[in-house]
A = this chain, B = another copy of it.
Amino acid sequence: MADLNNLISPFFLNEKEIRKIIELVFFSYRDFTAGPDQILEKLNFGRAHHRVIYFVGKKDKITIKELLRVLKITKQSLSRVLNQLVKEGFILVSTGSDKRTKNLSLTTSGLSLENELSTIQITKIKKVISNFNKEDIDGFIKILYEMIEADNKATFQHLNE
C-alpha cells in the first residue's frame, strides 16, 4: 500500500502531533454525527436508529444476524430500536427463504428518512473534499481504512461487494 521509496520514519510525527490527530478524530466525528442527530431528535430517535436505517438501506433484505455483526451490539439492544422503527413504519420485516431468518427493508418513509440523513453527511463530505486534490483524498481514505481492525475490515468489504 505504501510507496517504499517514500516511507516516512514512524517518528516523522512526534507525540505532540499524534495527540493533535486524536483531537481531530474526536472533534470531526462529533461534528459529523451532529447533523443527523438533530433530525433524529424531532422523531424521538437517536443515533442507534440512524445506524439501523443506514445499514438496512445499504443492504436491502439484511438479516438480524448480519445487522448484529455490523453493529456489534446485543440483540436485546437492537430489538428495542428495531421494533420502534418497524412500529413507526420505517422498516419492513419479511420472512427469509430460510424461514428462521428475517429480511429487513426500508419502507417508503424509511427510504425517505435514510435519504434525508445520509444527504447531510454526503453533502458535508463532498463539500470538504472538493477543496482537496486526489492525493489528499486518497490518503484520507486509505488511512481511515487502516484504522479499522481486521474483522471490521472484512465486514466493510462484505458490505461493499
Interface hits, A140-161 → B, CB 8 Å: 140-149, 152-153, 155-156, 159-160
For residue A141, which residues in chain B have a CB less than 8 angstroms away from its CB? 20-21, 24
- Complex CA gap A145/B12 in Å reads 19
Known: A24-B141, A25-B32, A137-B139. 16 other contacts (CB 8 A): A1-B132, A8-B130, A8-B137, A12-B137, A20-B156, A22-B125, A23-B160, A27-B152, A30-B152, A31-B147, A128-B143, A128-B146, A132-B139, A132-B146, A136-B139, A139-B143
Residues of A at under 8 Å CB distance from B?
1-3, 6-8, 10, 12-13, 15, 18-32, 34, 51, 54, 58, 72, 118, 121-122, 124-149, 152-153, 155-156, 159-160
- Complex CA gap A126/B147 in Å reads 11
Partner of A12 from B25, B29, B118, B134 at Cβ < 8 Å: B134
Do B126 and A18 touch (CB < 8 A)?
yes
- Complex CA gap A131/B152 in Å reads 19
For residue A135, which residues in chain B have a CB less than 8 angstroms away from its CB? 6, 135-136, 139
| Ranked 7 nearest A-B pairs via Cβ | A139-B139, A136-B139, A28-B147, A6-B133, A10-B130, A24-B144, A140-B143
From A26, A122, A155, name the one whose CB has the most chain B CB atoms within 10 angstroms.
A26
